[in-house]
């Protein structure tokens, strides 16, 4: 059960949108972040061909932070250590890290500083699962080992002590950290409450996602936008911009700004965040395709920010012209499919007090006839190719005439 939102966690809903960065030794291959597992690459070969050649020569975390700002995001989450086990900071736990191999310097410290300097919240991703560690049950499971695959109970305990010590370093050496993003907490019996509790002692305001078990604060939906049942929970959908998290040189299936804004409205309509991923190249530069899409979507967000940040769970169901977000007594209609000068929306119980465009405040003519709201004089075609946001001020708290009763296919209607 998730506890009510604490004031120190309020930034999360205020942000609504964050940048996920998958970057590490795997970026050298340009085949995603799982290729070591898929290709059954032995540790010495992985270290020699990839970690050694990871140089981070154009690493400029202030450029990452500037991009996140331009995109309209409120936080950035970096993979400090992915399943390959290669730590981006000079950890004292073992020798497989960026201080010793590859870049031969700390990459986490400059990231934290740059993100904080840009006024953004700092998120660190960490995967306990570690394919490089002798006590972790094997790197080549398809996909994950199970609880019975530990070599012995002692191996499991040693491994837990190791990953806990790495996390203690991350939570002790870089000042305030806002968000710990756990992934790869598998097998389940490596999850330990005492680990999360210890980290919260070190960083009392820290948000922790749910993947390492309790105590945690943020529910996660991966490559899907699915709000949790608990309507008070903080939640986040993490999504890729193409089909991969880590840099993949052959994956050109980029989402466009239209799809990004659609995803953002979709998460915001249920009061959740969108954590959108980029996979920088090994030198540290973010692929131009990602940069362009983030900037374009950012321009939309500059015009329509109010409709996204701190949005509440919308009581409204689907329609075939766009998405609806809600905050206080305001309803934001994000119209994507314009079909003419008139739009009829027949889902609202409240009396409408005013209607206007969010971007310039121009009033919109409306008429409420019984259960139907007519909005008139809409421009044809609608000017904004990403989404045209119209604000309704209503009497009282927005309510739907009837709640959704039957199933519906998410995303299938517009
Ligand atoms: C998965 C993958 C991983 C990726 C993560 C992001 O759990 O194992 O590669 O980092 O999802 O959510």
Work out which ligand 1 atom sits closest to the CA atom of 184: 7
Number of compact structural domains in the chain: 2
140 touches 40 (CB < 8 A): yes
pLDDT value of residue 74: 98
Q: Which residues contact 256 (CB under 8 A, 6 or more apart)?
A: 293, 296
pLDDT value of residue 394: 98
373 touches 352 (CB < 8 A): yes
Q: Is 245 in the pocket of ligand 1 (CB under 6 A)?
A: yes
Element (H, E) at 369: strand 365-369
Ligand 1 geometric centre to CA of 319 (Å):
32
Does one domain contain both 102 and 141?
A: yes
Does one domain contain both 176 and 208?
A: yes
Q: Kindly report, residue by residue over 87-124, the tens digit of the pLDDT.
A: 999 999 999 999 999 999 999 999 999 999 999 999 99
Does one domain contain both 253 and 385?
A: no
Largest separation between any pair of C-alpha atoms in the chain: 72
Q: Is 222 in the pocket of ligand 1 (CB under 6 A)?
A: yes
CA distance 322 to 134: 51
Q: How are beta strands 322-327 and 273-278 bridged, if at all?
A: unpaired
Stronger pLDDT, 2 or 288, i.e. the higher one: 288
Chosen domain end from 274, 307, 340: 307
Mean pLDDT along residues 61-81: 98
pLDDT above 70: residue 1: no
Does one domain contain both 243 and 341?
A: no
**The model's pTM:** 0.97
Neighbours of 4 (CB within 10 A): 7
Work out which ligand 1 atom sits closest to the CA atom of 183: 7
Does one domain contain both 134 and 272?
A: yes
Does one domain contain both 360 and 290?
A: no
Share of the chain above pLDDT 90, in %: 93
Does one domain contain both 162 and 192?
A: yes
Q: Kindly report, residue by residue over 223-270, the tens digit of the pLDDT.
A: 999 999 999 999 999 999 999 999 999 999 999 999 999 999 999 999
Q: Tell me the two tokens of residue 120.
A: 């953004």
Q: Is 183 in the pocket of ligand 1 (CB under 6 A)?
A: yes
Q: Is 171 in the pocket of ligand 1 (CB under 6 A)?
A: no
Q: Is 33 in the pocket of ligand 1 (CB under 6 A)?
A: yes
Q: Kindly report, residue by residue over 329-344, the tens digit of the pLDDT.
A: 999 999 999 889 999 9
| Domain at 271, CATH number | 3.20.20.80
Mean pLDDT of the chain, nearest integer: 96
Q: Which residues contact 216 (CB under 8 A, 6 or more apart)?
A: 2, 196, 208, 209, 210
pLDDT above 70: residue 56: yes
Find residue 344's DSSP bridge partners.
374
- According to DSSP H, which parts of 87-228 are helical? 108-117, 153-172, 193-202
Q: Tell me the two tokens of residue 7.
A: 């004031």
**368 lies in which domain range?**
322-394
Q: Kindly report, residue by residue over 153-180, the tens digit of the pLDDT.
A: 999 999 999 999 999 999 999 999 999 9
Q: Kindly report, residue by residue over 354-389, the tens digit of the pLDDT.
A: 999 999 999 999 999 999 999 999 999 999 999 999
On the 0-12 / 13-18 / 19+ scale of CB atoms within 10 A, 218 is buried
């Amino acid at each position: 059960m998730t506890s009510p939102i604490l004031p120190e966690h309020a930034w999360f809903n205020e942000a609504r949108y964050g940048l996920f960065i998958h970057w590490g030794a795997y970026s050298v291959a340009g085949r995603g972040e799982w290729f070591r597992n898929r290709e059954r690459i032995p540790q010495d070969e992985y270290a020699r061909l990839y970690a050694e050649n990871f140089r981070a020569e154009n690493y400029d975390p202030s450029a990452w932070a500037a991009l996140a700002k331009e995109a309209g995001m409120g936080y950035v989450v970096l993979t400090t250590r992915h399943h390959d086990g290669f730590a981006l900071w000079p950890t004292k736990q073992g020798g497989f890290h960026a201080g010793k191999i590859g870049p031969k310097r700390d990459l986490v410290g400059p990231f934290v500083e740059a993100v904080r300097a840009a006024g953004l919240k700092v998120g660190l991703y960490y995967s306990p699962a570690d394919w490089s560690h002798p006590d972790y049950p094997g790197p080549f499971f398809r996909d994950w080992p199970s609880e019975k695959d530990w070599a012995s109970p002692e191996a499991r305990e040693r491994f837990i002590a190791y990953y806990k010590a790495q996390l203690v370093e991350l939570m002790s050496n870089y000042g305030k950290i806002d968000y710990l993003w756990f992934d790869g907490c598998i097998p389940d019996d490596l999850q330990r409450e005492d680990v999360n509790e210890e980290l919260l002692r070190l960083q009392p305001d820290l948000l922790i996602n749910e993947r390492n078990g309790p105590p945690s604060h943020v529910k996660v939906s991966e490559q899907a936008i699915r709000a949790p049942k608990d309507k008070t929970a903080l939640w986040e959908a993490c999504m890729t911009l193409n089909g991969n998290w880590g840099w993949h040189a052959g994956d050109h299936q980029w989402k466009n700004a239209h799809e990004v804004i659609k995803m953002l409205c979709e998460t915001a309509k249920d009061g959740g965040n969108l954590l959108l991923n980029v996979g920088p190249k090994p030198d540290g530069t973010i692929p131009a395709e990602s940069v362009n899409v983030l900037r374009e979507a950012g321009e939309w967000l500059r015009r329509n920010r109010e409709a996204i940040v701190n949005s509440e769970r919308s009581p409204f169901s689907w329609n075939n012209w766009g998405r609806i977000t809600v905050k206080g007594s305001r309803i934001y209609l994000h119209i994507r499919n314009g079909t003419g000068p008139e739009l009829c929306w027949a889902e609202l119980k409240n009396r409408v007090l005013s209607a206007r465009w969010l971007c310039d405040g121009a009033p919109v003519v409306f008429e409420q006839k019984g259960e139907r709201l007519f909005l008139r004089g809409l421009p044809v075609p609608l000017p904004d190719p990403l989404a045209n946001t119209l604000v309704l001020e209503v009497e009282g708290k927005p309510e739907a005439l009837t709640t959704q009763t039957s199933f519906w296919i998410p995303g299938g209607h517009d």
